[in-house]
Structures are given as structure tokens and as C-alpha cells.
Amino acid sequence: MNPMNEVTTRVLPLISYMDRPEGWGRSQGREVYQRLLGFVEDHAGTVVFRVSMKDVKRVDISFASETIIELARRFRRTKGFCLVDLTDPDMIENIDAAGEKKEQPMLVWQGKNATLIGLQPSEGTREAFQFAMSRPQTRAAEFAAQRNLSIANASMKFKQLWEQGFLLRRESAADTGGVEFVYCPVG
């Protein structure tokens, strides 16, 4: 079962929304952004968009900032965006620079492995992020138990990671009868 329950994942082929295989500049980026936004709004039930970079030859930092990164930032906390079909080091570097400037993290998936580019987690949340990345879903209590932390402390770390766009979360019924959050990687 999908770890996010009703979470649906959809591939968003970036090339279909670009005028040419090379994307550069803010104004071109803003045009493409509007088309991407239309796609996202047309698929309101989709929570994770795997942005495919297939057939995209190049993107500069400004274009990446106005498109992929801006989209991820806009929908932070509600939807997740990650990259697939991307191996070109130059493009990775440019998207990384754009993400860092806008303080937006972004996962680049290659098979089952993900590399984090853009914003990096703080020292205080890094371990929690790595813990969540190694499993399909995570409860703060599980991390707290393994690291001998208070649940409140662990919860705070995951909340911060969710707010900053590192992880997605959904509500779940806790064994105690209350509500707890389940966190999962964007992908």
C-alpha cells in the first residue's frame, strides 16, 4: 500500500511544458511555471509530482528557480515535488543553486536512491531526516525510541522538516486513540 494512504503520485514531464529543450531566464521560466501550475491544479488529488527531466537538455539557475523550485515552494506542506530522469551534473548543480537560494529542498531520485539538493537540513534535524529517508513512513515516536529522545523533541524535528519541505506528512489515528502524524519522503 502506498505509505501516504490515498496519496497519488504522478509524473510531470517538464519537457511537455517547455518551448524548447533548453530553459533559461526568468521570463521564460515564469511562462513555463504557469503551465506547470495548470497541470498541478488539474490534478488536485495528486500529492507527489515526480518531475521528469527526460529530454530536457539544459536549465539555467534562473529558469530552475522560477519553475521547479518555485512550484515546490508554493505547495510546501501540501504537495511534494521531486526530480527523476536527471543525471546531468550541470543541471543538478543549477537546480541545487536555485533551491539553496530559495531555501527549498529537492530530491533527485535514481532508482530507489535519492540525493538531496537545494536546502540542506540543519544539524539538529539531519539525523531525523536521514531516518525518515530510510523508511517508507515514519512516526516521531519511532525515531524518539531509537535515539532515546523525548517524543516532543522528535515531533518538533519532524514538524520542522515538514514545514521546510523536506518531508510530507499525513494524519493517522494513534494507538492511544488520538491523532499522530506519519511522515514520508517526497518520492
Which residue, chain included where needed, has cell 539538493? 117
| Residue 137 · residue 76 · CB < 8 Å | no
User: Which amino acid is it at 155?
Assistant: S
Which positions from 131 to 170 touch another protein by CB under 8 A, shown as an x/- string?
A: ----------------------------------------
Backbone angles phi and psi of 97, in degrees to 5 = -65, -40
**Residue from 8, 11, 16, 25 that binds another protein (CB under 8 A)?**
25
Least CB distance from residue 123 to another protein, whole Å?
Answer: 22
26 binds another protein (CB under 8 A): yes
Could you list the beta-strand ranges (E) of 63-185: 80-84, 105-110, 113-118, 138-139, 167-173, 179-185
Positive or negative, the CA dihedral 163, 167, 170, 173 is: negative
Counting Cα atoms < 13 Å in the Cβ hemisphere of 79 gives: 24
- The smaller minimum CB distance to another protein, of residues 85 and 96, is found at 96
Is 22 a binding residue for another protein by CB under 8 A? The answer is yes
101 lies in the site for another protein, by CB under 8 A: yes
**Helical packing angle, 140-147 and 151-163, nearest 10°:** 130
Query: Closer to another protein at the Cβ: 36 or 61?
Result: 61
Q: How far is the CB of 83 from another protein (least distance, A)?
A: 17
Q: Is 24 among the residues that bind another protein (CB under 8 A)? A: yes
Stretch 43-72: interaction string toward another protein, x if CB under 8 A: ---------------x-xxxx-x-------
